[in-house]
Amino acid sequence: MKLEKYDQYKSDIFNKLNFPFEAGKKMLDCGCGNGIDSEIFINEFGLETCGIDVYKDKNIDKIKGLTFKEAGIYNIPFNDDEFDYVFLHDVLHHIDEKNQSRKKHLQALDELKRVVKKNGKIIIVEGNRYNPLFYPHMVKMRGHNHFKQSYFKEIVSSAFNGYKIEFKFFECHLYPKNFLWFWKIYEKIMERYVPSRYLAYNVAVINSGEKDGSFIYYDGRVPKKNLLIQFLLILQWPLAFSFFRWIINAKLKNCENTGYIPGMRFLYGNIYAENAFLCDTFFVDYAPIYIGDGARFSFDNMIITSTHSLKDFKKITAKPVWIGKNVWVTSRCIIMPGVKIGDNSVISAGSIVRDDIPANCIAAGNPAKVVKYLE
């Protein structure tokens, strides 16, 4: 590959993506703009490349081998399961830049799922709103309404819930040639010492394979937690007062008619529940936790969705947990990442649930196993 023949920015961003494209595969460059990314896919990676955008740039006809169609992201004019790769580079924040409707963002991401093949890859690259260079230049001066990193991760995780997702964050800009050495030092400092929420680019690589058994990855530093929420949860006693419960409930935006008592804790509020009682359960919710209608928890339970890589402790892998309707998790139980518990089941006290539990049964032990089926 000779990425250097394009420009410093394009060379840097593809090198930092470091994605193993396979020659001969089919790529959709969604929101291809002037087509430079498409040209790189064709000439440097050997990909059969199609591009779409809401307008046709004057440079498009100069790119040999590119199939271009004028179209938007909500109605991609290609068949289902057609592409091995779908690529978006600074596109998603533009599709509803004035209102930034979450509904429209999810609608666009759903359309990407339609056109990508099973076990294909969707690669989303988005500028980060609060990067020290992007914010004054792109947001304030040029009016680009970039996403916060937390919102980027939330909509990607929601749209591709349960799929294998790898998040990456890095620094990359087009710099003046005369001072390139200075900016490369700046990049190294940013990537090594500054929290990832301030790095220039948010990247998500989604594997469109089967949902069951696939992981969500948070690569690098962990997502930022709300310190006020954590402080209130650790103190416990504020949860006895309605004002503080209102603050907590605002974070649990995906829980409806769901109760808890002081001692309940979570990290991010990544909990989906309805008509449930959480008691004082500790939710380690790096990945979503789904709790069915009527589920109940007794005292001192824990649900864990994550683990650390043995090779790199900073890398956290997480897997959603599903708890069915009318499940009763008794006391001092631990539910491990990726577990599914069927409707109407009971998890006996002190159990460690490592594997799926079927519906309508009582499970007990370490690891928890079915001891009785319920009629």
Instruction: Please list the active-site residues.
Output: 308
Q: Are 255 and 275 in contact (CB under 8 A)?
A: no
Dig out the tokens for 82 from the structure: 């057609």
In whole angstroms, what is the distance from residue 331 CA to residue 302 CA?
Answer: 9
Per-residue CA distances from 210 to 17, 117, 120, 171 (Å): 24, 11, 11, 32
Of 282, 365, 275, 263, nearest in space to 346 by CA: 365
